[in-house]
Amino acid sequence: MGEVHDGWSPEQGYAAWSDAQLVDAVGASDRGALHELFARHEPWLATRLSRRCADRALVDTAVQDTFLAVWRKPQGWRGEGDVAAWLWGIAVRSLLHQLRPRANVLERLRNLRSSPATSAEEEVLARVEHSDVGVAFARLSPDLQAVVQATVLDGLTTREAAALLGIPSGTVKSRMSRARTELREALL
């Protein structure tokens, strides 16, 4: 790290590039663009991952795997939505991979298909804090909150949420349905 101004390249210009431009440049093996992406997104990605997993070593590996994936397969970004959301999708799955290193082939294929797209629910949640939903969410028990967070916020599938939280898939499903019921009751 540490961008030293050494006189070789007076105007690097990465700062003015959009995230999408940076990902394009990474596609052309531009290491400087990767560095800029890293500087922009590593802090929040690492913090968000740390909130899901207390083990720093696992978070470090997940961060590294995320940007390695960006470096090696920048074409995974299809130019839709936010680069940040794409990065989070890779990051949370990298973390899952750490937690569950021996996922079978079938599951990996399933993971590939479920795109880390941001859901409409997230947009609602972005302004949820002062709303009735927010109050209702806050009243849920921590167990139910964790399930809602993993599925709705992190965009994970039931299986992935189960792996992240260390509980069976069936429990995720039943807790999710309980959370849904409680939220509905609180709001209606």
Contact 163, 100 (CB under 8 A): yes
Q: How far is the CB of 158 from another protein (least distance, A)?
A: 19
Using rule CB under 8 A, residue 46 touches another protein: yes
Q: Binding another protein by CB under 8 A: which of 17, 21, 24, 32? A: 32
- How many beta carbons lie within 10 A of that of residue 49, not counting itself? 22
Contacts of 42 (CB under 8 A, 6+ apart): 63, 67
Binding test (CB under 8 A) with another protein, winner from 17, 21, 24, 30: 30
CB 119 within 8 A of CB 88: no
77 binds another protein (CB under 8 A): no
Q: Which segment (66-74, 103-111, 168-176, 177-185) binds another protein by CB under 8 A?
A: 66-74
**Radius of gyration, alpha carbons of the chain:** 19
* Residue 75 in contact with another protein, rule: CB under 8 A: no
CB of 110 to another protein, least distance (A): 23
Residue 145's Cα: distance from chain center in Å?
Answer: 17
Of residues 145 and 169, the one with the C-beta less far from another protein = 145
Provide DSSP, 27-82.
HTT-HHHHHHHHHHHHHHHHHHHHHH---HHHHHHHHHHHHHHHHH-GGG--S-S-
Distance in angstroms (rounded) separating the CA atoms of residues 94 and 170: 23
The answer to whether 6 contacts another protein (rule: CB under 8 A) is yes
Among 127, 174, 180, 181, binds another protein (CB under 8 A): 127
**By the rule CB under 8 A, 145 interacts with another protein:** yes
Binding site for another protein (CB under 8 A): 1-2, 6-10, 12, 19, 28-35, 38-44, 46-48, 50-51, 60, 63-64, 67-68, 71, 82, 84-85, 88, 118, 122-123, 125-129, 134, 137-138, 142, 145, 149, 153
